Structure 1
């Protein structure tokens, strides 16, 4: 997506804007702060208004922007490790079916809306074409599992990780997943302490690319939430299109049927152009 680095004083390289990219995403990809990127591009008056094909000056600052993280399964956050080195020739899947199999290695994508799963297959393939991979760490959650997560930071030890009680999360209906970057064959839910500049750039670039590709496929990316930004979160529909409360009503009306929820949700999904 970006040109080869060309030294121009305080500018390390120029990045050519691709469809769906944002200035924040570009900053993360190159491992610089948004302010540093703005300072190097004084011609940009509104960070939300950049054009496809526009050349963005990338400063040589090594100040990192850390990706927003969100909780998923207990124990998935890696312990601080020596800074990994990102291979210039990563091992990639070679077929479409392998792309999703790698993304769903833990089997968290099995009990999802069929249409949602279909779009996730397309997402896995799109990332593979870009030389990237993520791992689905959380998919369908039972109401009991949701209550257990909600209790953290309230009645149970640990930080608060969700505002959603049982029945109030898209995860409870197989309409949402959480996915994290795979770097050097390992999944990371956060950038480890002491990680290299190269690692941070790779982690942030993969996380942003997953969201960008999801949005191109008509999915909703958790980075767009108005409250807690949930970058690893992808769901079939925006809350405004079908809320968890509406899902719960349909679920209860049909005797706890996920199929009924899926049928209604899938009717509201816009076809891909």
Structure 2
């Protein structure tokens, strides 16, 4: 049996999402099943300890399925000697359009190529991180690549691995129904789900 099949079998047994990746939800469920049946009264996926205040404000805007992944990434980076913070989470279509206007019809530099409804940030499944040294924010650093590897190990999709637009601070949790979908198709379905009030990870 391959390792992915083992993880999928464990996930089915624990009654959590089956994706074959041992991410934060899987480890939280294993911990709850083996070590503590109840962790402060929280579901296993939400039992990961909070991180810094700035990150938590942005993490709170993400969907519940994504929140533990963001916390786990901050903690895993710290365990590897890298200080990161979550700088951006959910954005409304209006906020996204305002960002898209920068460097085009508004002052400032171009910061995104996505209009409202065409960014994963608009659906609460994506977040951006920043690398810090003390209080100093590092806009560019080799450490982003190291954090990217840590994020992918958790089961996150990393913008630094994209071929068309490389976005090293960006991470997202792709729904299982979108595993083999192109980005454009996934975004179209996310827009449909938001309009219909359907859960993203259902």
Using the size of structure 2 for normalisation, the TM-score is 0.66
CA distance in 1, matches of 2:161, 2:99: 22
Deviation at 1:119, TM superposition (A): 1.3
The residue that corresponds to 2:201 in the other structure is 263
Deviation at 1:225, TM superposition (A): 1.6
1:101 pairs with 2:52:
yes
In 2 relative to 1, CA 169–230 (structure 1 residues): closer, same or farther, beyond 3 Å?
Answer: same
Given that 2:74 and 2:85 are in contact with CA atoms closer than 8 Å, whether structure 1 keeps it comes out as no
The residue that corresponds to 2:170 in the other structure is 233
The residue that corresponds to 1:221 in the other structure is 158
**Highest Rg: 1 or 2?**
1
Deviation at 1:103, TM superposition (A): 6.6
Question: 1:27-176 to 2 correspondence within 5 Å?
Answer: 97=49, 100-101=51-52, 104=55, 107-176=57-126
> 3-state SS of the aligned residue for 1:137?
strand
Among candidates 118, 130, 138, match of residue 180 of structure 1: 130
CA distance in 2, matches of 1:103, 1:222: 22
Deviations 1:193-233 (A, max 9, x none): xxxxxxxxxx322x122111110011000012221110000
Among candidates 226, 244, 249, match of residue 187 of structure 2: 244
CA RMSD of aligned residues (A): 2.1
Given that 1:250 and 1:261 are in contact with CA atoms closer than 8 Å, whether structure 2 keeps it comes out as yes
CA distance in 2, matches of 1:102, 1:123: 15
CA distance in 1, matches of 2:94, 2:54: 26
Deviation at 1:97, TM superposition (A): 2.6
Q: Which has the higher contact order (CA 8 A, sep 6+)?
A: 1
Deviation at 1:102, TM superposition (A): 5.5
Deviation at 1:177, TM superposition (A): 0.7
Size of the aligned set, in residue pairs, is: 149
Unaligned runs of 5+ in 2: 1-47
